[in-house]
Amino acid sequence: MAVSALARGGRDGAGAGVMGAEAARFPYSCPGPGRRSGPLVLVALLCHLYHNTLHTVCAEIALMLKGEIVDNKQESSESFTMASSPAQRRRGNDPITSSPGRSSRRTDALTSSPGRDLPPFEDESEGLLGTEGPLEEEEDGEELIGDGMERDYRAIPELDAYEAEGLALDDEDVEELTASQREAAERAMRQRDREAGRGLGRMRRGLLYDSDEEDEERPARKRRQVERATEDGEEDEEMIESIENLEDLKGHSVREWVSMAGPRLEIHHRFKNFLRTHVDSHGHNVFKERISDMCKENRESLVVNYEDLAAREHVLAYFLPEAPAELLQIFDEAALEVVLAMYPKYDRITNHIHVRISHLPLVEELRSLRQLHLNQLIRTSGVVTSCTGVLPQLSMVKYNCNKCNFVLGPFCQSQNQEVKPGSCPECQSAGPFEVNMEETIYQNYQRIRIQESPGKVAAGRLPRSKDAILLADLVDSCKPGDEIELTGIYHNNYDGSLNTANGFPVFATVILANHVAKKDNKVAVGELTDEDVKMITSLSKDQQIGEKAGTGAIAGLITSVPRAWLQEALSNSEGMDGGIFASIAPSIYGHEDIKRGLALALFGGEPKNPGGKHKVRGDINVLLCGDPGTAKSQFLKYIEKVSSRAIFTTGQGASAVGLTAYVQRHPVSREWTLEAGALVLADRGVCLIDEFDKMNDQDRTSIHEAMEQQSISISKAGIVTSLQARCTVIAAANPIGGRYDPSLTFSENVDLTEPIISRFDILCVVRDTVDPVQDEMLARFVVGSHVRHHPSNKEDEGLANGSATEPAMPNTYGVEPLPQEVLKKYIIYAKERVHPKLNQMDQDKVAKMYSDLRKESMATGSIPITVRHIESMIRMAEAHARIHLRDYVIEDDVNMAIRVMLESFIDTQKFSVMRSMRKTFARYLSFRRDNNELLLFILKQLVAEQVTYQRNRFGAQQDTIEVPEKDLVDKARQINIHNLSAFYDSELFRMNKFSHDLKRKMILQQF
C-alpha cells in the first residue's frame, strides 16, 4: 500500500513531498558508518512511510470537502519532474538534488504540503528509532482541483511505460515445459550455479559440520585451478574438494551420509572425474572409448568395472555395496553430464544414462541370500527358467482430475509403492483421478526367474530360485535357458498373496537388476606359480605322461593352465587316449566302447554357422541300448557328476513340454510367462534321458528339432519365439521284451522310429553274455569296490578315494585314470580353448567309408546310413583332436572316428552278418588297438567255438578248453601280426586265465 501511494504521489506532487521529507528526517534511510542497518531498520522505515503517507491522503480529502484548495499549478508541474525514474537519479540526473533551483522548489513543496496543520497519527516507530527533530509544520496544502487539474492527469507515455524485463507477467501465455525440457533447464541451472559457486556443495566446510573455526583461504594455486576448470567447463583431478575425508562418516550410516548435500556433490565430482581421467595400462582413456561406442549404438548403459573403481576411488567402491540405490543415482547423473559434454545433442536419443557395475568381487549363491543382504548390491549366478514379456511400467505419471480436468503431476513412481495424489490443488477435491495416458512417461519392464545351476545343487536338495526385474535396456538381454551372472540390488516388497497364504506378514524378495552378463562356461586361466611351471616342465619330458596321468603328479592342476603347457604336457603321447578313456566311469568294469563314445561326446565337436544362415551342431548324441543290469543308468549318473552342466530326467516322468518349453500364467501378474524345459535348461551342457523308450511317440517327436537344429520353437498364447537347446543328448533305452535279440536288427529290437535313431551319432549296444572268466573278474571288481567304499574305511584316504583315483581291477587300457576333478577341468579347458579345423583331413577316406557303409546297409537291411553319419564322423574326429588339444584334424583323428562309427554300425547288425562285416572292415577296426588286445579278441572267439563244439558233441563243457596254437597264428597273420611271444608274456594273457603249452603247442584256459 505504501509503494502504491508513493507512486500516485509522484503524479500529483504529494508523494514527492513525502519522499523528500522522509528522506530528510529519517536517520536510517541510508545506512553508513556508525548507523544501524538490518531487517529491524527496514521494517521501521516501511511503517514510518506508511503512516505519513496515509496522513497526507486524509488531509487532502478534508481540504477538498472544505473547498480550501489553492491553485498551485507550478508546484504540481514540478512534481512530475520529481517523479523521474531511479535510473536517472543513479546517472546523476536526479531532479531533486541535481540543481539549486530544484532544491528550493523542493523546500517550498514540503512547506506547502496539505494537511500539515492537522494533528498527525501517532508514529509508533519513533519510540523505537528515535527522531532527529520535530517535523516542519505547514499551514497551507496543495490545490488539487482547479483550472490546471487536467494537466496533472494528462497522458505521458514516457512515464506510463514500465520495463517488462525481469517481471513475471501472469497474463502472458507461456507454453508448458515437457519433462525433457524441464530436466534440461534444471540441468543448465545446476551447471550455472556450480560455475558461479552458489551450489549447496560450495558452502564452507565449517557450516556443514557446525564448526566455529573458519577454514583458511584456499591456496592461490588451487584457486587458479578452480577458475581454469570453470572456464573450460571441466573439473581437474586436483580441483578443490568440498569434503576431503569423504570416508569419515561423522557418526552417520553410509546411507544417511551419501544422502546429505555435501557428500552427494563430492561423490558426483569424484565419479565424474573418474570417468574423464581413467586410463588403462596402455594409456588409453577407457570411458571415452566406451561412451563413443555406446553413442554409436544409441544405447543408454555404461559398464563400469568395479575393480577399476576400487583401484581409483576406493571410497566410492566402499560406499557402493552398502548404499547402492543412492550411489547409482548419483553415478547416473554424473555419467549423463559426461556424455552430454562429449555429445551435446545426445539428449535427443535418451535423457538417462545408466551406470552398470560389473565384476563385483563377492559372488553370492541364491541359496545363501539372507536378510543382511537386503538393500545391498549383490552378484549371483543362475539359469533363467522363465521370463515375462516386455511390459510398460509407469515412470513419471500424471493424473487428470475428473471434476475440473486439472493435470496433476508428474509423480515419480518407485518399485516399492505406487504414488497417488491426495487432493486436487485446483478444486480441492479428493478425486477421482485417472492416469493421463498422453503425458505419462513409461519405461520397459520385464520379470525373469533365475534358478541355481544344475551342476551346483547338492545331491538331494531342490534348486532355489529368485525373481529379478529388468528395466530400461536390460529387457530381453537373456532368454530361458541362458546361464547368467546377475548384479543388482536385493529388495523386499509387499506381497498380499504371501500374507494370505501364510497368515502373517511376509515380504517377498526380488533382485532389481543392474547388470546382466551371459556365461559361456568359461574357466578363468590364472597365472601359475613357479612350482606349477616346474612340475609341468618335468611332466612334459616324460613320454609316457598319458599312461601315468593318474600317479598323482598331475593331481595338483585343479585350475586350468596355459594352453601351450597343457598341450606339451598332456598331449605328447599316444597313450593319451587310454588315459582319458580309462578315466570315464572308472568304477564301472568293462564297456570300453561305451566309455570311448561317452568321452567323445563330452569333448564334442565344433559347431558351425556359415553366414548365420544354416547352423550345424557340434554336439555328439549317444544312445545306450541293451539288456537290463548293464550299468546304463550308472553311466548317465556318472556323466551328470562329471559334466559342468547337466540335466537328468526320465522318459516316463518327462512330457513334451517338460523336455522343451511351455507357457503358463504368472500367479501374481496373470501375464503369460515362458517356462524352460529340460533341453533348454541344459543349454551348452548335457541332457540325460533315462528310459528313453518309455516316452510317448508324441512326446518323443517334440525333441526332433532340439536334437538336430538345437532350437525349440514356441507358438502359444500369443508368444512366438525360439529358444536355444545347444546340448548333448545321451539317452538310455531298453529293448523290446526286456532283452536284446541278436537275431534281429536294431530297429526291430528298439521301439524307436528311424528319424529319432538317425539323430544319434553313436549307438552302443550292451549285451549280457555269459563268459565265466569275465563274470568272475566282474564279481571281483564289484566286491573290491564295496570293500573299499565301506563307511568304516572313510578314515583311510587311499581307500575312500579309490573310485576317483584308482580302479579295483586293472582295465584293458593298462593305465591308471585321471583324477575326476582334473578330468572335469581338462574337458572344460578343451571345449573352451581348442577349436579344431578340418584343413588336413583325408576327405577321400571319409567319402569311401561312407560309400561302403551305404552299400552294406542296403545289403543287410540294418539301420539306414544317411548324410548325418558323415557329419557324425567329422564331429568325432574334431572331438578326438580336442582330446589331444590340437587345432587341426589329422589322419589319426579320422581313423578313430571311422573306428567308432564302424563299431557302432556293426554292433547294431544281426549276428549272422556281424562277423562278415568285421572281416570286411578289419583294417579300420584295428586302428589304435594294441596287438595284445586284438589277439585276445581272436583267442576268445576260438575258445567260444571250442565250447560250442564240446556242448554239441558231449552235452557238457569241460573245465579246461584247449585251442591249437596254429589256429591263433593263422588268424594273427591275417592282421599282419607274426610274433606272439609278447602276447604270451603279457599280463592281459594271464589275467584272462590263459596258459601256453610250448611242448604241445596248445593254448589252455581254465574255467
Among 815-819, 940-944, 990-994, the range scoring the smallest mean pLDDT is: 815-819
State the Cα torsion 845-851-854-860 to the nearest 10°.
-90
Among 40-44, 236-240, 516-520, 843-847, the range scoring the smallest mean pLDDT is: 236-240
- More reliable by pLDDT, 507 or 1007: 507
Percentage of the chain lying above the pLDDT 70 cut: 67
Separation CA 799–CA 819 (nearest Å): 14
Separation CA 568–CA 121 (nearest Å): 112
- Name the band, by pLDDT with cuts 50, 70 and 90, for residue 828: confident
Which of 142-146, 149-153, 522-526, 993-997 shows the highest mean pLDDT?
993-997
Res 1006 pLDDT > 90: no
Res 562 pLDDT > 60: no
Separation CA 1007–CA 994 (nearest Å): 10
- Name the band, by pLDDT with cuts 50, 70 and 90, for residue 59: low
- Name the band, by pLDDT with cuts 50, 70 and 90, for residue 528: very low
- Name the band, by pLDDT with cuts 50, 70 and 90, for residue 394: confident
Res 321 pLDDT > 60: yes
Which burial class, exposed, middle or buried, applies to 566 when counting CB atoms under 10 A from its CB (0-12, 13-18, 19+)? buried
Number of other CB atoms surrounding residue 572 within 10 Å: 19
C-alpha cell at 495: 506381497
pLDDT, mean of residues 842-866:
80
Separation CA 822–CA 553 (nearest Å): 11
- Name the band, by pLDDT with cuts 50, 70 and 90, for residue 44: low
CB 540 within 8 A of CB 568: yes
Taking 3-state DSSP, the helix, strand and coil percentages for the chain, each rounded to the nearest 5, stand at: 45, 15, 40
**Dihedral sign computed on CA atoms, order 669, 674, 677, 682:** negative
- CA 468 distance to own-chain centroid: 11
Looking at residue 334, its pLDDT comes to 93
According to DSSP, the residues that pair with 720 across neighbouring strands are 715
410 prior amide bond cis, ω within 30: yes
Question: What is the 8-class DSSP label of residue 440?
Answer: -
Separation CA 603–CA 639 (nearest Å): 12
Edge to edge, the sheet with strand 762-766 lists 646-650, 686-690, 728-733, 622-626, 762-766
Q: By three-state DSSP, how is residue 832 classified? A: helix
Residue carrying the nine cell digits 549276428: 911
pLDDT tens across 285-319, in order? 899 999 999 999 999 999 999 999 999 999 999 99
Enumerate residues 6+ apart whose C-beta is below 8 A from 396.
179, 409, 410, 411, 412, 413, 440, 441
- Name the band, by pLDDT with cuts 50, 70 and 90, for residue 474: very high
Number of other CB atoms surrounding residue 445 within 10 Å: 19
pLDDT tens across 565-619, in order? 444 444 444 445 666 788 888 888 888 888 999 999 999 888 888 766 778 888 9
Q: Kindly report the backbone phi and psi dihedral angles of residue 282, in degrees, each rounded to the nearest multiple of 5, phi listed first.
A: -90, 0
CB 927 within 8 A of CB 893: no
- More reliable by pLDDT, 12 or 789: 789
Residue carrying the nine cell digits 488539487: 144
Separation CA 429–CA 410 (nearest Å): 18
pLDDT, mean of residues 675-687:
85
CA distances from 45 to 40, 52, 255, 761, 805 (A): 9, 11, 49, 103, 101
Res 325 pLDDT > 70: yes
CB 572 within 8 A of CB 540: yes
Amino acid at position 688, single letter:
L
Separation CA 588–CA 569 (nearest Å): 28
Which burial class, exposed, middle or buried, applies to 183 when counting CB atoms under 10 A from its CB (0-12, 13-18, 19+)? middle
CB 451 within 8 A of CB 383: yes
CB 508 within 8 A of CB 493: yes
Residue carrying the nine cell digits 533315462: 690
Enumerate residues 6+ apart whose C-beta is below 8 A from 325.
375, 489
Res 794 pLDDT > 60: no
Separation CA 718–CA 712 (nearest Å): 16
Looking at residue 35, its pLDDT comes to 44
- More reliable by pLDDT, 974 or 201: 974
CB 749 within 8 A of CB 625: yes
**Dihedral sign computed on CA atoms, order 488, 490, 492, 498:** positive
Closest Cα partner for 994 from 986, 1004, 985?
A: 1004
Among 23-32, 332-341, 871-880, the range scoring the smallest mean pLDDT is: 23-32
Q: By three-state DSSP, how is residue 568 classified? A: helix
CB 898 within 8 A of CB 849: yes
pLDDT tens across 157-196, in order? 777 666 655 555 555 555 677 777 888 888 888 888 877 6
Enumerate residues 6+ apart whose C-beta is below 8 A from 263.
243, 246, 257
pLDDT tens across 758-786, in order? 889 999 988 888 777 777 888 888 888 78
C-alpha cell at 181: 525440457
pLDDT, mean of residues 819-842:
79
- Name the band, by pLDDT with cuts 50, 70 and 90, for residue 669: low
What is the 3-class SS of 733-786, one letter each residue?
ECCCCCCCCCCCCHHHHCCCCHHHHHCCCEEEEECCCCCHHHHHHHHHHHHHHH
pLDDT, mean of residues 62-70:
51
Residue carrying the nine cell digits 563385483: 360
Amino acid at position 908, single letter:
T
Question: What is the 8-class DSSP label of residue 907?
Answer: H
Which burial class, exposed, middle or buried, applies to 184 when counting CB atoms under 10 A from its CB (0-12, 13-18, 19+)? middle
According to DSSP, the residues that pair with 484 across neighbouring strands are 382, 518
C-alpha cell at 593: 566302447
Looking at residue 1001, its pLDDT comes to 84
DSSP H/E element including 305: strand 301-305
Q: What is the DSSP string of 620-676?
A: --EEEEE-TTSSHHHHHHHHHHHSSSEEEEESSS--HHHHSEEEEE-TTT--EEEEE
Q: By three-state DSSP, how is residue 600 classified? A: helix
Res 214 pLDDT > 90: no
Alpha carbons within 13 angstroms on the beta-carbon side of residue 894 total 19
Among 486-490, 740-744, 794-798, 989-993, the range scoring the smallest mean pLDDT is: 794-798
Average pLDDT of the residues of the chain: 73
Closest Cα partner for 700 from 728, 660, 667?
A: 660
CB 646 within 8 A of CB 640: yes
CA distances from 562 to 525, 527, 645 (A): 7, 8, 23
pLDDT tens across 632-662, in order? 888 999 998 888 888 888 887 777 778 888 8
What are the helix (H) ranges across 767-910?
A: 772-788, 797-800, 802-805, 820-833, 843-860, 867-883, 891-907
Res 746 pLDDT > 90: no
- Name the band, by pLDDT with cuts 50, 70 and 90, for residue 803: very low
Closest Cα partner for 55 from 15, 20, 25, 24?
A: 15
pTM for the complete prediction? 0.60
Amino acid at position 228, single letter:
R
Separation CA 51–CA 121 (nearest Å): 7
pLDDT tens across 4-39, in order? 443 444 444 444 444 444 444 444 444 444 444 455
Looking at residue 513, its pLDDT comes to 94
